[in-house]
Every structure is written in C-alpha cells, then in structure tokens.
Chains A and B, each alone.
Chain A
Amino acid sequence: DAGVIQSPRHEVTEMGQEVTLRCKPISGHNSLFWYRQTMMRGLELLIYFNNNVPIDDSGMPEDRFSAKMPNASFSTLKIQPSEPRDSAVYFCASSYRGRVPDTQYFGPGTRLTVL
C-alpha cells in the first residue's frame, strides 16, 4: 500500500495568492481528515470527510479556507487568499471508519510558507 499521498511537499507563496493542497487517501479508507500543525497549537483538525461528505468543518479557520472531496481517492484544501499566519504544516490523514480501532494514517504533509 502506498500510504496517504500529499502534494506538493513544500509550497512557498506570497500573501494574497491562492494555495491548493492535494491528498490521495489510502485505497479503501472511507474517512479523510485535514490537519494543521504549528509549534504553538500542535495538531488541529480542520475538516473531516466520511464517504466523501464533509461531516465536521468546525476547525476551518475562516472563509478563506475551503475543502472538497470529489471522489473517494482525492481531496483538496484551498486557501484563498493566503496570509502569513497560514504558514504551517498541513497533514492529510485517512482511516476506515467501522474498523476497530479506527486508526488514522497520516500523509507526509505539505509545508506551507506564506511570505
């Protein structure tokens, strides 16, 4: 199994630009999570999808952030417009809800720097 795949691995952009992060979950998993990790706040859940449907987006910071999951093998997290405070590592994780335990497997992350 290839594991969770994320792209790009690094992204440097300027304030105000649109940023799109991509994720391919593990095949067969039905749950997908987007997290943001910073030194100050640790790992924060941004949004959770189950069977491609957004279930909980309460962690999305503001309207500048949006996420989609058009099919079971692809998800995007978009930031428009980006701001320096969005600089962080963004992780995608997937799991199979219904399996016990419901273990989350993380992708390698995207390190975002907004100048």
Chain B
Amino acid sequence: QKEVEQNSGPLSVPEGAIASLNCTYSDRGSQSFFWYRQYSGKSPELIMFIYSNGDKEDGRFTAQLNKASQYVSLLIRDSQPSDSATYLCAVPSGTYKYIFGTGTRLKVLA
C-alpha cells in the first residue's frame, strides 16, 4: 500500500480559476507536509510546507490539512498558464526520508 497518494490527473482548469490538488497520506502521526512543483524536464522545487498545527497561505498558494481524513490540499488561486506543472506531495517518514506521491499534473488553460 502506498503511503502517499495523489491523483495523476491531468487536472485542467481555466486561467483565473482556483486549482485544488489533493494528497492523502497513511501515517496518522505525520507532522509536516511538503508541496513541490516540477515543470516538465526540470527538477522538483519546493513551493510550500506546512506543519500539522495549521494551514498556510503564501501569495496565491494555500496549503490546508485535514487530519481527520488524512489529506493535505494545495489551492492555487487565480491560476496562470505558468502554473502548469506536476505537483508532488511529500511526507517525511522517520528522521530523514521523504515519501513522495507520484504527482498530479495540472494544466491551466489560457
């Protein structure tokens, strides 16, 4: 059983809309959650992280945690074509290892 799961997509949204990406995790004790963005042919880059004690907003990006249902969401407001990428969720496992989801591909349509 995978420990971090994401819908592979593609998730298509029109420009200016809100894109909502979800990630479910199996370890109920997880304390932090990371979102990486990966453009085609590029490396993953960190865009946000949150702790289990609350949601976080950073510009057009908001990360929300639902502990009861064990999922974390990434909301992108006012989506732009430049947001088109694959978004990877990562959850620490143990003291150093990240478990990465396989990513959700987002397409923002102009």
**A interface residues with partner B (beta carbon < 8 Å):** 31, 42-43, 45, 48, 50, 55-56, 91, 97, 101-109
Contact = CB atoms under 8 A, between A and B. Distances in A.
B44 A31 contact: no
A107 B43 contact: yes
Contacts, number: 42
B102 to A, nearest CB: 4
B96 A106 contact: no
Please indicate which of the listed interface residues A48, A104, A108 has the most CB atoms of chain B within 10 Å of its own CB: A104
Nearest to B32: A101
Nearest to A105: B46
Main secondary structure of the interface of A (DSSP, over half): strand
Please indicate which of the listed interface residues A43, A106, A108 has the most CB atoms of chain B within 10 Å of its own CB: A43
A55 B96 CA distance: 10
Interface string B41-85: 011111001010000000000000000000000000000000000
Contacts of A107: 43
Interface string B6-36: 0000000000000000000000000010101
A55 B94 CA distance: 13
Contacts of A103: 34, 46, 49
